[in-house]
């Protein structure tokens, strides 16, 4: 009889462990999917911020280049924009401009 009790205890323990393994696997799968979802949303947010920064930088660059507004006076035209942020945005816009190579596009 002790053999049958041992077998039943072993079966019960293995079944309980299997239930735990399935629950843990399901939880890990859910957590993984949520982690991926969060990572995608953060990348999308970062891309949107980069795009908006570039748009702002282009406007700041046009203010300084086309309208001859000194960078030190940008805050008068863009309330709340600090000098350092104006410089950062302008540099971003400059870096995004197509590079023209002197003598690179010579026709016949």
Instruction: Compute the distance between CA of residue 13 and CA of residue 80 in angstroms, rounded to an integer.
Output: 66
Domain interval for residue 54: 2-96
Q: Is the pLDDT of residue 10 over 90?
A: yes
Kindly state whether residue 108 falls inside one of the protein's structural domains.
no
Banded model confidence at residue 15, pLDDT cuts 50, 70, 90: very high
pLDDT digits (tens, 9 = 90+) for 24-78: 999 999 999 999 999 999 999 999 999 999 999 999 999 999 999 999 999 999 9
* Mean per-residue pLDDT, 71-95: 96
Structural domain count, the chain: 1
Instruction: Say how far apart CA 43 and CA 45 lie, in whole Å.
Output: 5
Mean pLDDT of 88-107: 82
pLDDT over threshold 90, residue 104: no
For the question of whether the overall pTM of this predicted structure is more than 0.85, the answer is no
Taking residue 73's Cβ as centre, other Cβ atoms within 10 Å add up to 13
Block residue for tokens 């805050």: 75
Whether the predicted pLDDT of 103 surpasses 90: no
Residue 53, domain member (yes or no) = yes
Residue 83 and residue 89: Cα distance in Å, rounded? 10
Domain contains 37: yes
DSSP assignment of 25-61: HHHHHHHHHHHHHHHHHHHHHHHHHHHHHHHHHHHHH
* Burial of 54 from C-beta contacts in 10 A (0-12 / 13-18 / 19+): middle
Q: Is 44 a member of any domain?
A: yes
């Amino acid at each position: 009889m002790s053999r049958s009790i041992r077998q039943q205890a072993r079966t019960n323990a293995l079944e309980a462990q299997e239930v735990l393994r399935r629950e843990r696997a399901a939880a890990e799968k859910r957590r993984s999917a949520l982690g991926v979802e969060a990572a995608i949303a953060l990348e999308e947010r970062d891309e949107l911020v980069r795009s908006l920064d570039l748009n702002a930088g282009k406007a700041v660059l046009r203010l300084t280049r086309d309208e001859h507004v000194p960078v030190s006076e940008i805050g008068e035209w863009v309330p709340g924009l600090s000098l350092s942020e104006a410089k950062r945005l302008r540099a971003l816009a400059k870096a995004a401009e197509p590079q023209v190579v002197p003598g690179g596009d010579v026709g016949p």
